[in-house]
Structure 1
Protein backbone atom coordinates (compact mmCIF):
# COMPACT_ATOMS: atom_id res chain seq x y z
CA UNK A 1 0.00 0.00 0.00
CA UNK A 2 2.88 2.30 0.64
CA UNK A 3 4.08 1.82 -2.91
CA UNK A 4 0.60 2.42 -4.28
CA UNK A 5 -0.58 5.40 -2.23
CA UNK A 6 2.85 6.83 -1.57
CA UNK A 7 3.25 9.70 0.88
CA UNK A 8 -0.35 9.93 2.11
CA UNK A 9 -0.29 6.39 3.55
CA UNK A 10 3.03 7.02 5.29
CA UNK A 11 1.74 10.19 6.95
CA UNK A 12 -1.39 8.37 8.15
CA UNK A 13 0.71 5.51 9.55
CA UNK A 14 2.90 7.93 11.55
CA UNK A 15 -0.20 9.63 12.91
CA UNK A 16 -1.56 6.29 14.20
CA UNK A 17 1.74 5.45 15.91
CA UNK A 18 1.74 8.78 17.73
CA UNK A 19 -1.75 8.17 19.09
CA UNK A 20 -0.76 4.71 20.30
CA UNK A 21 2.43 5.84 22.00
CA UNK A 22 0.90 8.95 23.56
CA UNK A 23 -2.87 8.39 23.77
CA UNK A 24 -3.43 11.06 26.38
CA UNK A 25 -1.86 13.86 24.29
CA UNK A 26 -3.79 15.59 21.55
CA UNK A 27 -2.06 15.78 18.21
CA UNK A 28 -2.31 19.23 16.59
CA UNK A 29 -1.79 19.34 12.84
CA UNK A 30 -1.21 22.57 10.96
CA UNK A 31 -1.44 22.95 7.19
CA UNK A 32 1.19 25.13 5.58
CA UNK A 33 0.88 26.75 2.21
CA UNK A 34 4.28 27.53 0.73
CA UNK A 35 2.94 29.35 -2.37
CA UNK A 36 1.17 32.67 -2.16
CA UNK A 37 0.06 35.57 -4.35
CA UNK A 38 3.38 37.36 -3.83
CA UNK A 39 5.73 34.61 -4.92
CA UNK A 40 3.57 33.39 -7.80
CA UNK A 41 3.59 36.68 -9.72
CA UNK A 42 6.50 38.84 -10.75
CA UNK A 43 7.09 42.32 -9.39
CA UNK A 44 5.96 43.86 -12.68
CA UNK A 45 2.59 42.06 -12.52
CA UNK A 46 2.04 43.08 -8.90
CA UNK A 47 2.84 46.73 -9.64
CA UNK A 48 0.56 46.63 -12.68
CA UNK A 49 -2.29 45.33 -10.56
CA UNK A 50 -1.85 48.19 -8.12
CA UNK A 51 -1.38 51.08 -10.53
CA UNK A 52 -3.49 50.18 -13.57
CA UNK A 53 -7.21 50.09 -14.28
CA UNK A 54 -9.39 47.43 -15.84
CA UNK A 55 -9.88 47.05 -19.56
CA UNK A 56 -13.38 48.46 -19.28
CA UNK A 57 -11.97 51.49 -17.49
CA UNK A 58 -9.36 52.02 -20.20
CA UNK A 59 -12.06 52.03 -22.89
CA UNK A 60 -13.91 54.75 -20.97
CA UNK A 61 -10.79 56.89 -20.73
CA UNK A 62 -10.00 56.32 -17.06
CA UNK A 63 -6.51 55.86 -15.69
CA UNK A 64 -4.68 57.87 -18.36
CA UNK A 65 -2.16 59.16 -15.85
CA UNK A 66 -1.86 55.96 -13.83
CA UNK A 67 0.88 53.43 -14.15
CA UNK A 68 3.64 55.90 -13.48
CA UNK A 69 5.71 54.59 -10.62
CA UNK A 70 9.22 55.03 -9.37
CA UNK A 71 10.36 51.64 -8.10
CA UNK A 72 13.92 51.06 -7.00
CA UNK A 73 15.68 47.89 -8.01
CA UNK A 74 17.32 46.79 -4.78
CA UNK A 75 19.55 44.34 -6.63
CA UNK A 76 21.15 47.06 -8.72
CA UNK A 77 24.69 47.82 -7.65
CA UNK A 78 24.95 44.68 -5.55
CA UNK A 79 27.83 42.26 -6.07
CA UNK A 80 27.90 38.70 -4.75
CA UNK A 81 30.41 38.39 -1.92
CA UNK A 82 30.74 42.14 -1.37
CA UNK A 83 28.87 43.85 1.44
CA UNK A 84 29.04 46.70 3.89
CA UNK A 85 31.63 44.74 5.94
CA UNK A 86 34.84 44.03 4.11
CA UNK A 87 35.47 40.29 4.12
CA UNK A 88 37.65 38.16 1.90
CA UNK A 89 35.77 35.02 0.88
CA UNK A 90 38.02 32.56 -0.99
CA UNK A 91 36.26 31.24 -4.05
CA UNK A 92 33.61 33.99 -3.96
CA UNK A 93 35.21 37.43 -4.15
CA UNK A 94 38.83 36.26 -4.11
CA UNK A 95 40.76 33.34 -5.61
CA UNK A 96 41.33 30.24 -3.50
CA UNK A 97 45.02 29.97 -4.32
CA UNK A 98 47.31 32.88 -5.19
CA UNK A 99 50.55 31.41 -6.50
CA UNK A 100 51.38 28.69 -4.01
CA UNK A 101 49.64 30.36 -1.09
CA UNK A 102 46.21 29.27 0.07
CA UNK A 103 43.98 32.29 0.69
CA UNK A 104 42.30 32.37 4.10
CA UNK A 105 39.10 34.12 5.09
CA UNK A 106 39.87 37.44 6.73
CA UNK A 107 38.26 40.75 7.56
CA UNK A 108 39.64 43.94 6.06
CA UNK A 109 39.47 47.52 7.29
CA UNK A 110 36.14 49.08 8.18
CA UNK A 111 36.46 51.90 5.64
CA UNK A 112 33.88 51.01 3.00
CA UNK A 113 31.75 53.35 0.92
CA UNK A 114 29.65 50.60 -0.65
CA UNK A 115 26.40 51.60 1.05
CA UNK A 116 26.86 55.18 -0.07
CA UNK A 117 27.58 54.14 -3.66
CA UNK A 118 24.57 51.81 -3.78
CA UNK A 119 22.27 54.54 -2.46
CA UNK A 120 23.60 56.93 -5.09
CA UNK A 121 22.88 54.38 -7.85
CA UNK A 122 19.37 53.78 -6.50
CA UNK A 123 18.63 57.51 -6.29
CA UNK A 124 19.44 57.87 -9.98
CA UNK A 125 16.87 55.23 -10.85
CA UNK A 126 13.53 56.55 -11.98
CA UNK A 127 14.85 59.98 -12.95
CA UNK A 128 14.40 59.70 -16.71
CA UNK A 129 14.96 62.74 -18.89
CA UNK A 130 13.75 63.04 -22.45
CA UNK A 131 16.70 63.36 -24.79
CA UNK A 132 16.88 66.84 -26.27
CA UNK A 133 16.61 66.77 -30.04
CA UNK A 134 18.87 69.00 -32.08
CA UNK A 135 17.06 71.93 -33.70
CA UNK A 136 18.07 70.70 -37.16
CA UNK A 137 16.63 67.23 -36.49
CA UNK A 138 13.31 68.42 -35.05
CA UNK A 139 10.11 67.61 -36.87
CA UNK A 140 6.99 69.67 -37.45
CA UNK A 141 6.17 69.93 -33.76
CA UNK A 142 9.05 69.57 -31.34
CA UNK A 143 10.37 66.08 -30.74
CA UNK A 144 7.46 64.23 -32.39
CA UNK A 145 8.20 61.92 -35.30
CA UNK A 146 6.29 63.55 -38.20
CA UNK A 147 8.74 65.66 -40.19
CA UNK A 148 11.87 64.04 -38.74
CA UNK A 149 14.55 62.22 -40.68
CA UNK A 150 15.15 58.50 -40.04
CA UNK A 151 18.11 58.09 -42.37
CA UNK A 152 18.54 56.23 -45.66
CA UNK A 153 16.85 52.87 -46.32
CA UNK A 154 18.64 49.62 -45.63
CA UNK A 155 20.71 48.14 -48.45
CA UNK A 156 19.05 45.57 -50.70
CA UNK A 157 21.56 43.01 -51.95
CA UNK A 158 24.25 45.17 -53.60
CA UNK A 159 22.04 48.25 -53.95
CA UNK A 160 23.19 50.95 -51.55
CA UNK A 161 20.83 53.92 -51.18
CA UNK A 162 23.47 56.62 -51.09
CA UNK A 163 22.39 60.27 -50.76
CA UNK A 164 18.87 59.10 -49.84
CA UNK A 165 16.96 60.64 -46.96
CA UNK A 166 13.73 59.39 -45.40
CA UNK A 167 11.19 61.65 -43.70
CA UNK A 168 8.26 60.56 -41.55
CA UNK A 169 4.97 62.13 -42.62
CA UNK A 170 2.53 60.37 -40.29
CA UNK A 171 2.89 58.27 -37.15
CA UNK A 172 -0.32 57.17 -35.46
CA UNK A 173 -1.82 54.34 -33.40
CA UNK A 174 -4.43 52.13 -35.07
CA UNK A 175 -6.52 49.30 -33.66
CA UNK A 176 -7.84 46.10 -35.13
CA UNK A 177 -10.35 43.70 -33.59
CA UNK A 178 -9.25 40.06 -33.39
CA UNK A 179 -11.50 37.16 -32.56
CA UNK A 180 -9.10 35.57 -30.07
CA UNK A 181 -6.99 38.55 -28.94
CA UNK A 182 -9.66 41.24 -28.87
CA UNK A 183 -8.59 44.84 -29.40
CA UNK A 184 -5.06 44.77 -30.86
CA UNK A 185 -2.99 47.94 -31.06
CA UNK A 186 -0.49 48.70 -33.84
CA UNK A 187 1.53 51.66 -35.08
CA UNK A 188 0.99 52.99 -38.60
CA UNK A 189 3.83 54.98 -40.21
CA UNK A 190 3.76 56.88 -43.52
CA UNK A 191 7.19 57.91 -44.79
CA UNK A 192 8.80 59.17 -47.98
CA UNK A 193 12.35 58.62 -49.18
CA UNK A 194 14.28 60.32 -51.96
CA UNK A 195 17.69 61.46 -53.19
CA UNK A 196 16.77 65.15 -53.84
CA UNK A 197 17.40 64.61 -57.57
CA UNK A 198 14.01 63.40 -58.77
CA UNK A 199 13.92 59.88 -57.28
CA UNK A 200 11.33 59.38 -54.53
CA UNK A 201 8.91 56.84 -53.13
CA UNK A 202 6.44 56.59 -50.25
CA UNK A 203 4.87 53.73 -48.32
CA UNK A 204 2.70 52.90 -45.30
CA UNK A 205 3.69 50.15 -42.85
CA UNK A 206 2.16 48.82 -39.63
CA UNK A 207 3.76 46.93 -36.76
CA UNK A 208 3.23 46.34 -33.01
CA UNK A 209 6.34 48.41 -32.20
CA UNK A 210 7.23 51.92 -33.36
CA UNK A 211 10.80 51.09 -34.38
CA UNK A 212 9.64 48.12 -36.43
CA UNK A 213 6.99 50.21 -38.19
CA UNK A 214 9.54 52.94 -39.00
CA UNK A 215 12.01 50.45 -40.42
CA UNK A 216 9.37 48.61 -42.49
CA UNK A 217 7.97 51.85 -43.88
CA UNK A 218 11.44 53.14 -44.81
CA UNK A 219 12.48 49.97 -46.59
CA UNK A 220 9.12 49.55 -48.31
CA UNK A 221 9.30 53.13 -49.64
CA UNK A 222 12.75 52.36 -51.08
CA UNK A 223 11.23 49.50 -53.08
CA UNK A 224 8.66 51.85 -54.65
CA UNK A 225 11.00 54.58 -55.87
CA UNK A 226 9.82 56.34 -59.04
CA UNK A 227 11.39 58.96 -61.34
CA UNK A 228 9.92 62.49 -61.30
CA UNK A 229 10.97 64.99 -63.95
CA UNK A 230 12.16 68.38 -62.69
CA UNK A 231 12.28 71.64 -64.62
CA UNK A 232 15.71 73.28 -64.33
CA UNK A 233 16.33 70.96 -61.34
CA UNK A 234 14.42 73.23 -58.97
CA UNK A 235 10.68 73.39 -59.82
CA UNK A 236 7.81 71.83 -61.79
CA UNK A 237 7.25 72.25 -65.52
CA UNK A 238 3.93 74.09 -65.30
CA UNK A 239 0.97 74.81 -63.06
CA UNK A 240 -1.30 71.84 -62.46
CA UNK A 241 -4.18 70.66 -60.31
CA UNK A 242 -4.43 67.18 -58.81
CA UNK A 243 -6.94 65.40 -56.61
CA UNK A 244 -7.35 62.26 -54.56
CA UNK A 245 -10.53 61.58 -52.61
CA UNK A 246 -11.82 64.83 -51.13
CA UNK A 247 -8.40 66.51 -51.43
CA UNK A 248 -7.52 68.83 -54.32
CA UNK A 249 -4.17 70.61 -54.70
CA UNK A 250 -3.37 73.53 -56.99
CA UNK A 251 0.36 73.81 -57.69
CA UNK A 252 2.00 76.87 -59.26
CA UNK A 253 5.44 76.99 -60.81
CA UNK A 254 7.72 79.64 -59.28
CA UNK A 255 11.15 81.10 -60.22
CA UNK A 256 14.44 80.51 -58.45
CA UNK A 257 14.57 82.01 -54.98
CA UNK A 258 10.82 81.92 -54.32
CA UNK A 259 10.96 79.02 -51.87
CA UNK A 260 8.30 76.52 -50.81
CA UNK A 261 5.04 78.21 -49.83
CA UNK A 262 2.73 75.30 -49.15
CA UNK A 263 1.47 72.79 -46.59
CA UNK A 264 4.16 71.36 -44.32
CA UNK A 265 3.66 67.85 -45.72
CA UNK A 266 4.03 69.14 -49.30
CA UNK A 267 7.12 71.08 -48.23
CA UNK A 268 8.72 67.93 -46.81
CA UNK A 269 7.87 65.94 -49.94
CA UNK A 270 9.32 68.62 -52.22
CA UNK A 271 12.57 68.76 -50.23
CA UNK A 272 13.00 64.99 -50.49
CA UNK A 273 12.27 65.02 -54.23
CA UNK A 274 14.48 68.04 -54.97
CA UNK A 275 11.89 70.78 -55.66
CA UNK A 276 12.99 74.08 -54.12
CA UNK A 277 10.54 76.65 -55.54
CA UNK A 278 6.80 76.07 -55.60
CA UNK A 279 3.45 77.41 -54.40
CA UNK A 280 0.66 74.99 -53.51
CA UNK A 281 -2.83 75.44 -52.13
CA UNK A 282 -5.01 72.66 -50.72
CA UNK A 283 -8.79 72.65 -51.04
CA UNK A 284 -10.95 70.18 -49.18
CA UNK A 285 -9.63 67.47 -46.86
CA UNK A 286 -6.13 67.68 -45.40
CA UNK A 287 -5.75 63.93 -44.90
CA UNK A 288 -2.00 63.30 -45.07
CA UNK A 289 -2.21 60.12 -47.10
CA UNK A 290 -4.54 61.80 -49.59
CA UNK A 291 -2.20 64.80 -49.86
CA UNK A 292 0.77 62.55 -50.66
CA UNK A 293 -1.12 60.49 -53.24
CA UNK A 294 -2.65 63.55 -54.90
CA UNK A 295 0.71 65.33 -55.18
CA UNK A 296 2.45 62.30 -56.66
CA UNK A 297 -0.35 61.88 -59.19
CA UNK A 298 0.05 65.51 -60.23
CA UNK A 299 3.85 65.26 -60.49
CA UNK A 300 3.62 62.12 -62.63
CA UNK A 301 0.95 63.59 -64.93
CA UNK A 302 2.70 66.87 -65.65
CA UNK A 303 3.68 67.46 -69.28
CA UNK A 304 7.15 68.44 -70.36
CA UNK A 305 7.64 71.31 -72.79
CA UNK A 306 8.55 68.89 -75.58
CA UNK A 307 5.33 66.92 -75.08
CA UNK A 308 3.23 70.07 -75.19
CA UNK A 309 4.85 71.34 -78.40
CA UNK A 310 4.62 67.91 -80.05
CA UNK A 311 0.95 67.52 -79.12
CA UNK A 312 -0.16 71.04 -80.11
CA UNK A 313 2.27 71.61 -82.99
CA UNK A 314 3.04 75.02 -81.54
CA UNK A 315 6.13 76.71 -80.16
CA UNK A 316 6.43 76.90 -76.39
CA UNK A 317 7.68 80.39 -75.52
CA UNK A 318 8.49 81.59 -72.01
CA UNK A 319 8.59 85.09 -70.56
CA UNK A 320 10.63 85.40 -67.37
CA UNK A 321 10.77 88.36 -65.04
CA UNK A 322 14.43 87.74 -64.30
CA UNK A 323 15.26 88.15 -68.00
CA UNK A 324 13.19 91.29 -68.43
CA UNK A 325 10.21 89.39 -69.95
CA UNK A 326 12.12 88.77 -73.15
CA UNK A 327 10.60 85.87 -75.12
CA UNK A 328 12.58 82.67 -75.01
CA UNK A 329 11.72 79.63 -77.11
CA UNK A 330 11.80 76.52 -74.92
CA UNK A 331 10.61 73.86 -77.36
CA UNK A 332 9.94 73.64 -81.09
CA UNK A 333 7.61 71.15 -82.80
CA UNK A 334 8.59 69.15 -85.89
CA UNK A 335 5.93 70.87 -87.98
CA UNK A 336 4.39 74.10 -86.69
CA UNK A 337 0.84 75.19 -87.49
CA UNK A 338 0.37 78.12 -89.81
CA UNK A 339 -1.20 81.31 -88.55
CA UNK A 340 -4.17 80.83 -90.88
CA UNK A 341 -5.10 77.49 -89.26
CA UNK A 342 -8.25 77.79 -87.12
CA UNK A 343 -7.62 77.67 -83.36
CA UNK A 344 -11.16 78.37 -82.19
CA UNK A 345 -11.79 74.82 -80.99
CA UNK A 346 -8.49 74.58 -79.16
CA UNK A 347 -7.46 76.06 -75.84
CA UNK A 348 -5.02 78.84 -76.59
CA UNK A 349 -4.36 79.91 -73.01
CA UNK A 350 -1.35 78.04 -71.65
CA UNK A 351 -2.46 78.09 -68.00
CA UNK A 352 -5.93 76.85 -68.88
CA UNK A 353 -4.43 74.13 -71.06
CA UNK A 354 -2.11 72.68 -68.42
CA UNK A 355 -4.71 72.98 -65.62
CA UNK A 356 -7.30 71.00 -67.65
CA UNK A 357 -9.91 73.77 -67.27
CA UNK A 358 -9.55 73.76 -63.46
CA UNK A 359 -9.41 77.09 -61.64
CA UNK A 360 -7.99 77.69 -58.18
CA UNK A 361 -10.31 79.37 -55.69
CA UNK A 362 -8.94 82.82 -54.90
CA UNK A 363 -10.53 84.72 -52.05
CA UNK A 364 -11.47 88.33 -52.61
CA UNK A 365 -9.05 90.72 -50.99
CA UNK A 366 -10.61 93.27 -48.68
CA UNK A 367 -9.39 96.84 -48.57
CA UNK A 368 -7.11 97.55 -45.59
CA UNK A 369 -8.41 99.64 -42.71
CA UNK A 370 -6.00 102.52 -43.45
CA UNK A 371 -7.17 103.07 -47.04
CA UNK A 372 -8.88 106.38 -46.22
CA UNK A 373 -6.39 107.65 -43.66
CA UNK A 374 -4.48 110.91 -44.09
CA UNK A 375 -1.06 109.26 -43.85
CA UNK A 376 -1.85 106.75 -46.62
CA UNK A 377 -3.00 109.51 -48.96
CA UNK A 378 0.27 111.36 -48.38
CA UNK A 379 2.17 108.15 -49.12
CA UNK A 380 0.32 107.74 -52.44
CA UNK A 381 1.11 111.31 -53.44
CA UNK A 382 4.83 110.79 -52.82
CA UNK A 383 4.88 107.52 -54.79
CA UNK A 384 2.66 108.71 -57.65
CA UNK A 385 5.48 109.75 -59.96
CA UNK A 386 7.29 106.39 -59.74
CA UNK A 387 4.47 103.95 -59.00
CA UNK A 388 4.66 102.15 -62.39
CA UNK A 389 8.25 102.90 -63.31
CA UNK A 390 9.65 99.37 -62.96
CA UNK A 391 6.71 97.79 -64.79
CA UNK A 392 7.01 100.25 -67.67
CA UNK A 393 10.76 99.63 -68.00
CA UNK A 394 10.23 95.85 -68.17
CA UNK A 395 7.48 96.13 -70.78
CA UNK A 396 9.57 98.48 -72.92
CA UNK A 397 12.50 96.08 -72.89
CA UNK A 398 10.22 93.12 -73.66
CA UNK A 399 8.13 94.56 -76.49
CA UNK A 400 10.02 97.63 -77.87
CA UNK A 401 13.59 96.51 -77.20
CA UNK A 402 14.40 100.05 -76.15
CA UNK A 403 13.71 102.58 -73.38
CA UNK A 404 11.96 105.53 -74.94
CA UNK A 405 9.35 108.12 -74.09
CA UNK A 406 5.87 107.79 -75.48
Structure 2
Protein backbone atom coordinates (compact mmCIF):
# COMPACT_ATOMS: atom_id res chain seq x y z
CA UNK A 1 0.00 0.00 0.00
CA UNK A 2 1.50 3.34 -1.02
CA UNK A 3 0.87 6.43 1.10
CA UNK A 4 2.61 9.43 -0.33
CA UNK A 5 2.12 12.92 1.01
CA UNK A 6 0.70 15.25 -1.65
CA UNK A 7 1.51 18.95 -1.51
CA UNK A 8 -1.90 20.63 -1.89
CA UNK A 9 -0.39 24.12 -2.32
CA UNK A 10 0.77 23.25 -5.86
CA UNK A 11 -2.65 21.94 -6.97
CA UNK A 12 -5.63 23.93 -8.25
CA UNK A 13 -8.32 22.39 -6.03
CA UNK A 14 -12.08 22.62 -6.54
CA UNK A 15 -14.54 21.61 -3.86
CA UNK A 16 -18.02 20.16 -3.71
CA UNK A 17 -20.28 19.89 -0.65
CA UNK A 18 -21.85 16.43 -0.59
CA UNK A 19 -24.05 16.85 2.48
CA UNK A 20 -24.82 19.22 5.32
CA UNK A 21 -26.49 17.80 8.41
CA UNK A 22 -27.87 19.59 11.45
CA UNK A 23 -26.90 17.72 14.60
CA UNK A 24 -27.92 18.54 18.13
CA UNK A 25 -26.53 17.82 21.56
CA UNK A 26 -28.86 17.91 24.55
CA UNK A 27 -27.32 19.70 27.52
CA UNK A 28 -28.69 20.98 30.83
CA UNK A 29 -29.94 24.25 29.34
CA UNK A 30 -31.58 22.66 26.25
CA UNK A 31 -30.26 21.64 22.86
CA UNK A 32 -27.16 23.02 21.16
CA UNK A 33 -27.36 22.91 17.35
CA UNK A 34 -24.32 22.31 15.17
CA UNK A 35 -23.72 21.51 11.52
CA UNK A 36 -21.54 18.87 9.89
CA UNK A 37 -20.43 19.29 6.28
CA UNK A 38 -19.07 16.47 4.13
CA UNK A 39 -16.80 18.06 1.50
CA UNK A 40 -14.93 16.54 -1.47
CA UNK A 41 -11.96 18.38 -3.01
CA UNK A 42 -10.05 17.50 -6.15
CA UNK A 43 -8.05 18.93 -9.05
CA UNK A 44 -9.81 16.93 -11.79
CA UNK A 45 -6.48 15.35 -12.67
CA UNK A 46 -6.09 12.34 -10.39
CA UNK A 47 -6.06 13.94 -6.93
CA UNK A 48 -9.07 13.75 -4.60
CA UNK A 49 -9.76 14.04 -0.87
CA UNK A 50 -12.72 13.93 1.52
CA UNK A 51 -13.15 15.85 4.75
CA UNK A 52 -15.70 16.36 7.48
CA UNK A 53 -16.13 19.74 9.17
CA UNK A 54 -18.23 20.51 12.24
CA UNK A 55 -19.17 23.97 13.49
CA UNK A 56 -22.05 26.07 14.83
CA UNK A 57 -22.49 27.80 11.44
CA UNK A 58 -22.69 26.24 7.96
CA UNK A 59 -19.94 28.30 6.19
CA UNK A 60 -17.50 27.56 9.00
CA UNK A 61 -18.32 23.83 8.83
CA UNK A 62 -17.72 23.85 5.04
CA UNK A 63 -14.40 25.68 5.48
CA UNK A 64 -13.26 23.14 8.08
CA UNK A 65 -14.37 20.27 5.83
CA UNK A 66 -12.32 21.72 2.94
CA UNK A 67 -9.29 22.04 5.20
CA UNK A 68 -9.67 18.44 6.39
CA UNK A 69 -10.09 17.18 2.81
CA UNK A 70 -6.90 18.90 1.56
CA UNK A 71 -4.95 17.11 4.32
CA UNK A 72 -6.29 13.73 3.14
CA UNK A 73 -5.58 13.98 -0.61
CA UNK A 74 -4.90 10.74 -2.47
CA UNK A 75 -3.53 10.04 -5.96
CA UNK A 76 -5.90 8.09 -8.22
CA UNK A 77 -4.64 5.81 -10.98
CA UNK A 78 -6.25 6.58 -14.36
CA UNK A 79 -5.94 4.64 -17.60
CA UNK A 80 -5.73 5.96 -21.18
CA UNK A 81 -9.47 6.75 -21.51
CA UNK A 82 -9.79 8.45 -18.10
CA UNK A 83 -11.30 5.40 -16.41
CA UNK A 84 -10.04 3.18 -13.61
CA UNK A 85 -7.38 0.57 -14.50
CA UNK A 86 -9.50 -2.39 -13.30
CA UNK A 87 -12.77 -3.29 -11.56
CA UNK A 88 -12.74 -3.04 -7.78
CA UNK A 89 -15.08 -2.83 -4.79
CA UNK A 90 -14.43 -0.20 -2.14
CA UNK A 91 -15.78 -0.92 1.33
CA UNK A 92 -16.34 1.33 4.32
CA UNK A 93 -18.55 0.17 7.17
CA UNK A 94 -21.59 -1.55 5.66
CA UNK A 95 -21.39 0.50 2.44
CA UNK A 96 -19.76 -1.03 -0.63
CA UNK A 97 -19.20 0.70 -3.96
CA UNK A 98 -18.48 -1.38 -7.06
CA UNK A 99 -16.22 0.56 -9.48
CA UNK A 100 -16.23 -0.82 -13.04
CA UNK A 101 -14.08 0.16 -16.02
CA UNK A 102 -15.86 1.74 -18.93
CA UNK A 103 -14.88 2.51 -22.53
CA UNK A 104 -14.53 6.04 -23.94
CA UNK A 105 -17.86 7.87 -24.27
CA UNK A 106 -19.62 6.12 -21.38
CA UNK A 107 -19.50 9.06 -18.98
CA UNK A 108 -19.96 8.77 -15.22
CA UNK A 109 -22.78 6.36 -14.45
CA UNK A 110 -23.05 6.72 -10.71
CA UNK A 111 -25.23 7.82 -7.80
CA UNK A 112 -24.90 11.23 -6.15
CA UNK A 113 -22.31 10.76 -3.36
CA UNK A 114 -19.97 8.52 -5.39
CA UNK A 115 -20.39 10.75 -8.48
CA UNK A 116 -19.02 13.82 -6.68
CA UNK A 117 -15.86 11.92 -5.68
CA UNK A 118 -15.33 10.59 -9.23
CA UNK A 119 -15.88 14.02 -10.85
CA UNK A 120 -13.40 15.68 -8.49
CA UNK A 121 -10.85 12.93 -9.20
CA UNK A 122 -11.06 13.61 -12.95
CA UNK A 123 -12.51 10.24 -13.93
CA UNK A 124 -14.58 10.63 -17.13
CA UNK A 125 -15.74 7.06 -17.93
CA UNK A 126 -16.88 4.71 -15.17
CA UNK A 127 -19.85 2.65 -13.99
CA UNK A 128 -20.56 2.28 -10.28
CA UNK A 129 -23.09 0.53 -8.11
CA UNK A 130 -23.77 1.16 -4.42
CA UNK A 131 -24.18 -2.06 -2.50
CA UNK A 132 -25.30 -2.27 1.12
CA UNK A 133 -25.75 0.97 3.02
CA UNK A 134 -26.78 4.14 1.15
CA UNK A 135 -25.47 6.46 3.88
CA UNK A 136 -23.83 9.39 2.04
CA UNK A 137 -20.78 9.61 4.28
CA UNK A 138 -20.07 5.87 4.13
CA UNK A 139 -20.64 5.72 0.34
CA UNK A 140 -18.16 8.59 -0.21
CA UNK A 141 -15.57 6.96 2.06
CA UNK A 142 -16.08 3.55 0.39
CA UNK A 143 -15.51 5.18 -3.03
CA UNK A 144 -12.30 6.83 -1.77
CA UNK A 145 -11.21 3.51 -0.27
CA UNK A 146 -11.77 1.72 -3.60
CA UNK A 147 -9.86 4.38 -5.56
CA UNK A 148 -7.01 4.29 -3.04
CA UNK A 149 -6.55 0.54 -3.54
CA UNK A 150 -6.42 0.70 -7.36
CA UNK A 151 -3.11 -0.31 -8.91
CA UNK A 152 -1.78 0.57 -12.34
CA UNK A 153 -0.63 -2.27 -14.62
CA UNK A 154 2.96 -1.09 -14.06
CA UNK A 155 2.65 -1.53 -10.28
CA UNK A 156 1.11 -5.00 -10.64
CA UNK A 157 3.85 -6.05 -13.09
CA UNK A 158 6.54 -4.82 -10.69
CA UNK A 159 4.98 -6.70 -7.74
CA UNK A 160 4.72 -9.96 -9.74
CA UNK A 161 8.12 -9.58 -11.42
CA UNK A 162 6.63 -9.70 -14.92
CA UNK A 163 6.36 -7.31 -17.85
CA UNK A 164 3.32 -5.08 -18.42
CA UNK A 165 2.48 -6.98 -21.64
CA UNK A 166 2.26 -10.27 -19.68
CA UNK A 167 -0.11 -8.66 -17.14
CA UNK A 168 -2.42 -7.16 -19.79
CA UNK A 169 -2.54 -10.35 -21.88
Coarse TM-score class (shorter-chain normalised): 0.7 to 0.9
Of 236, 241, 259 in structure 1, the residue corresponding to residue 107 of structure 2 is 259
Q: Please state if 1:172 is matched with 2:13.
A: no
Structure 1 residue ranges, 4+ long, deviating more than 2 angstroms after superposition: 159-163, 307-315
Kindly indicate whether structure 1 or structure 2 has the higher relative contact order, using CA contacts under 8 Å at least 6 residues apart.
2
Provide closer, same or farther for how the CA distance between residues 174 and 161 of structure 1 changes in structure 2, counting only shifts above 3 A: farther
Q: Contact 2:74 / 2:148 at 8 angstroms: preserved in 1?
A: no
Shift of 1:313: 4.9
Q: Contact 1:244 / 1:290 at 8 angstroms: preserved in 2?
A: yes
Any stretches of 5+ residues in structure 1 without a counterpart? 1-158, 316-330, 337-349, 351-406
Instruction: Give 1 or 2: higher strand fraction.
Output: 2
> CA separation in 2, counterparts of 1:281 and 1:231?
20
Aligned to 1:237, the other structure's residue is in SS state coil
Shift of 1:162: 5.4
Residue by residue over 1:169-216, the C-alpha shift from the partner in whole angstroms, topping out at 9 and shown as x without a partner, is 01110011234x431110110001111111111111111111111111
Structure-to-structure mapping, 1:232-243, within 5 angstroms: 232=80, 234-243=82-91
Residue by residue over 1:350-389, the C-alpha shift from the partner in whole angstroms, topping out at 9 and shown as x without a partner, is 9xxxxxxxxxxxxxxxxxxxxxxxxxxxxxxxxxxxxxxx
Q: Greater Rg, structure 1 or structure 2?
A: 1
Shift of 1:314: 5.1
Any stretches of 5+ residues in structure 2 without a counterpart? 1-7
Provide closer, same or farther for how the CA distance between residues 175 and 307 of structure 1 changes in structure 2, counting only shifts above 3 A: same
Aligned to 1:206, the other structure's residue is in SS state strand
Q: Please state if 1:223 is matched with 2:76.
A: no
Of 135, 141, 146 in structure 2, the residue corresponding to residue 293 of structure 1 is 141
Structure-to-structure mapping, 1:30-49, within 5 angstroms: none
Of 131, 135, 149 in structure 2, the residue corresponding to residue 283 of structure 1 is 131
Structure-to-structure mapping, 1:1-400, within 5 angstroms: 160=9, 163-179=12-28, 181-232=29-80, 234-313=82-161, 331-332=164-165
Shift of 1:160: 4.7
Q: TM-score, normalised by structure 2?
A: 0.85
> CA separation in 2, counterparts of 1:209 and 1:310?
49
Aligned to 2:86, the other structure's residue is in SS state coil
Q: TM-score, normalised by structure 1?
A: 0.37
Shift of 1:310: 3.4
Shift of 1:235: 1.0
> CA separation in 1, counterparts of 2:146 and 2:88?
7
